Amino acid sequence: MKMELSRLIRNAKRIVFFTGAGISAESGIPTFRGKDGLWNRYSPAELATFEAFLNDSLKIWKWYLYRMWLIAKAQPNPGHTAIAEFEKLFSGKVIVVTQNVDGLHEEAGSVKVLELHGNIFEGKCRFCGAFYSKERFSEIFPIASKCFLKNLSESDFKEKILKGLSEDSLPVCPVCGELVGPGVVWFGEVLPEDVLSQAFSVSKGSDLFFSVGTSALVQPAASLPIVAKESGAVLVEVNPEETFLSKQCDFVFRGSAAKVLPSILKEVKNI
Ligand code: BJW
Ligand code: ZN
């Protein structure tokens, strides 16, 4: 199976790696659904919506700061690195379309990356629409910067940051004076228009589409593999569990991204 796929990879004109939380699981970042998923312990409606932010901004910021701290300390794993190597090996024909907000693809060296659900280290004001890049946001809210968080031990993070956080210390938008939230896409919010349209266009134009570490349940991202398949792409799934997409896939690898992707890369290099 790997040999046949390797030939397709070598001959492909456009390869999309569509990734989800599962690819970062082995970097120590919990997934959302599934056995150890975040949504087993927390309700999405209470944490990942603008209504939740309006109801209790302090609680939401504490939850996001905790996840930012986890992500700041995490390293890309061999799954991220293999995708970055694919891009180097086949320059110009590989693109990553990720639902993840952790930035680990870029950290692993991937250059062409579309972040459908934003980035956790950016800031977004839902009141006036102002967007804050990582650099700008770390000026407005220095404790939310990756450089700062990655040097904190768990006890320092909990004692010095989480315990000391109050309504008064939350980030305020310099444009409108309202509270700024994390630069991610919550349920009920639209995805960044330019990113989404590029994602649909590269998916339609792909001849090989990898769906890696995603339950492929959340729309509109979950439509990308379908659109790719309808446009003639070969679909490949890398996931230890069956998903709604599995039956539509031409190749299925039931294993972890950190093991399967490097092994496919090795095979491609060998032929
Ligand atoms: C491994 C592994 C290993 C484990 N290796 N694999 C059409 C129909 C029905 C509903 C809707 C619809 N259109 C829109 C909706 C509503 C909603 C939606 O899709 N709901 C569904 C859940 C039913 N969508 C939206 O609201 C979106 N907005 C929108 O559509 O706007 C237009 C609109 C507005 C108003 C009204 C109507 C339309 C926005 C969606 C935003 C999603 N945001 C989140 C949170 C981001 C912020 C944060 O991080 O806090 O994004 S939710 C969460 O799910 C996160 C993820 O990016 C996303 C996808 O999850 P993912 O990545 O697939 O992770 P998991 O955990 O689900 O799966 C992990 C997989 O990995 C599993 O399969 C494991 O087996 C596997 N795995 N270890 C490889 N080692
Ligand atoms: Zn504002």
The closest residue, in CA terms, to atom 79 on ligand 1 is 213
- 11-15, 32-36, 81-85: least confidently modelled range: 32-36
Model-wide pTM > 0.95: yes
State whether the beta carbon of 261 lies less than 6 angstroms from ligand 1: no
- Length of the chain (residues): 271
State whether the beta carbon of 255 lies less than 6 angstroms from ligand 1: no
Number of other CB atoms surrounding residue 137 within 10 Å: 22
pLDDT for the residue 87? 98
Per-chain residues with Cβ under 5 A from ion ligand 2:
125, 127-128, 130, 173, 175-176
Cis peptide preceding 220, ω within 30 of 0: yes
pLDDT tens for residues 205-225? Answer: 999 999 999 999 999 999 999
pLDDT for 258 beyond 80:
yes
pLDDT for the residue 62? 96
- 3-7, 15-19, 129-133: least confidently modelled range: 3-7
pLDDT for 1 beyond 80:
no
Distance between CA atoms of residues 251 and 48, nearest Å: 33
Distance 243 CA to ligand 1 centre (A): 13
For 36, counting Cβ atoms within 10 Å of its Cβ (0-12 exposed, 13-18 middle, 19+ buried), the class is exposed
Confidence of residue 3 (pLDDT cuts 50, 70, 90): confident
Tell me the mean pLDDT in the region 134-145: 97
Quote the mean pLDDT of the chain. Answer: 96
pLDDT for the residue 35? 78
State whether the beta carbon of 28 lies less than 6 angstroms from ligand 1: no
Tell me the torsion sign for CA atoms 4, 8, 11, 16.
negative
pLDDT tens for residues 236-256? Answer: 999 999 999 999 999 999 999
Give the ligand at the shortest distance from the Cα of 128. 2
Distance 115 CA to ligand 2 centre (A): 22
pLDDT for 28 beyond 80:
yes
Mutate to test the pocket of ligand 1, among 219, 236, 241 (most ligand atoms within 8 A of CB): 219
> Under a CB-based contact definition with an 8 Å cutoff, are residues 209 and 19 in contact?
no
Distance 24 CA to ligand 1 centre (A): 15
pLDDT for the residue 37? 85
pLDDT for 41 beyond 90:
no
State whether the beta carbon of 34 lies less than 6 angstroms from ligand 1: yes
> Under a CB-based contact definition with an 8 Å cutoff, are residues 123 and 171 in contact?
yes
pLDDT for the residue 271? 80
Distance between CA atoms of residues 267 and 265, nearest Å: 5
- 34-43, 46-55, 185-194: least confidently modelled range: 34-43
Distance between CA atoms of residues 268 and 258, nearest Å: 16
State whether the beta carbon of 240 lies less than 6 angstroms from ligand 1: yes
Q: Which residues are catalytic?
A: 117
pLDDT tens for residues 178-199? Answer: 999 999 999 999 999 999 999 9
pLDDT for 2 beyond 80:
no
The closest residue, in CA terms, to atom 32 on ligand 1 is 190
